[in-house]
Structure 1
Amino acid sequence: MIIKNLPGIIMRHQIFILLISFLLINCNSESKEKVVHEQTFDSIKDDSEIGRKTSQNEEINPKTQYLKSFLLEPINLIEFKNKYGPSNSGGCCSGIPIKWLYKPEKEGFYYQYMLFRQLKGMRYVNGKIMGEGELFKNFKIYVYHFGENRDFDFYNNDEELIGFSCAGIHEALGQANIVGKSLEEIEELFGNEYIEFDSLKIYYLENRVLSLKLKSSKVEWFKYFNHSSKLEEDKIPEHLIKF
């Protein structure tokens, strides 16, 4: 038996196979696009969920946020100096090994301010007003001043706060006016995650440290420092222990 027009039949068969193949490829592509779209949508949902959890955590832990903010800038150095300066000043820092202090890369030197005379009225926890000599001893600000020592000018604000120590109460300190506060008040502000060392409560975040000395359950004095390295809980440096 002889099949007529055999080449035409073969060609039509090949075209049919090509059409079927094209349809299969197109369907597969649409399926992949759908999967990618679903994965992308799921990813967006996951990211959104993480965002909500982060937001919730921040709402749950306002004390941690406040502590972080405080340790980054317990006082506004420029505003404080402009409002309550000038003061006595001099080389830094007696009783504090320089190796402990944060040192910026820019050239400069450590310096300290003490005896801000406009802080007259600073008082102890027991209410006694400090005299000049007591004020000189009980409130000091430590800075890293950029430039050369011979060019120092009190009102030159090209410097960075490194730390300060305070054993008095004065409204000029703003959020750092924490001497005299009870332990309950301190925990309400900063939380209760701190190192206990004798009568000290020590808060820290990376290199920044707040050491509070308590007496009769009230803050007698505190010290704040930006250290050169992270605080090790089993190696509390002496300058955080003694005033």
Structure 2
Amino acid sequence: MYEGSGWWRGEPEIINGAIRLKKNTHINFYQFFTGVTEEADPIMPHRALIRVQTVKDAVDFVGKYGLLGLWKCKPYAFSEVNLKINFIIDEDRRGEMDFYFQWQEPISLFMLAVREFRETAEALMLSEPATDDFKATRREALNSLDGWISECHPATTAGFTDFTNFTEFKARPIWHCPSLLHACYLGLWLDLTEGRKLRRCADKYCERLFYADRPNKRFCSEECRNRANRRAHYHRQKDKALSSCITDL
């Protein structure tokens, strides 16, 4: 498992069309590539971001992983269109902890960043027919991915393994990422280079992307699998009843 620089998260809220962390709520810190470690089966942020489709999904994601850090992302914070966007809630906040509460992200921009991330993942990691259009889309996605990971780099973190007498000083390699969104693109690149594949959920009422942990996995969750099985059973029973009626005639 990779280590990465850390990020913060807290309880989110939406105010005036922007998502932010509620002031004075508890702040938790975590490493990008270990996920939220208090969970039994931690999911890394980039794998969770792929599944965000609604505003509710976005709020849940921020509560679990934090804001995307769009104020550090050139395509969103420094383009001519977005220069007037105010990512800072209060310019006068100077306290150490206030830093973590001063940022906000317009929900429309947040969802745009999610959609473009998901489209990049789809182009690179879904199995599609090798048409000319698809090849062009994949080249464009690769160029986008390269642009994001070019701002990430390996670094070194170090510390004592025994804090009682400060012995066994140990250095460890980590990935430094400017923002959570950068880390998500880096995570996507790591998965891509390791040969991982995405699938689209076979439940027609879901169709979200997911990482399959076995070759024959068709659904992203037990809920989707059970719903599809119930629907298939209903249609089989309906067809059976219709066939019986026709026979009786």
Fold shared by both chains (TM-score > 0.5): no
Relative to the length of structure 2, the TM-score reads 0.22
Q: Which has the higher contact order (CA 8 A, sep 6+)?
A: 2
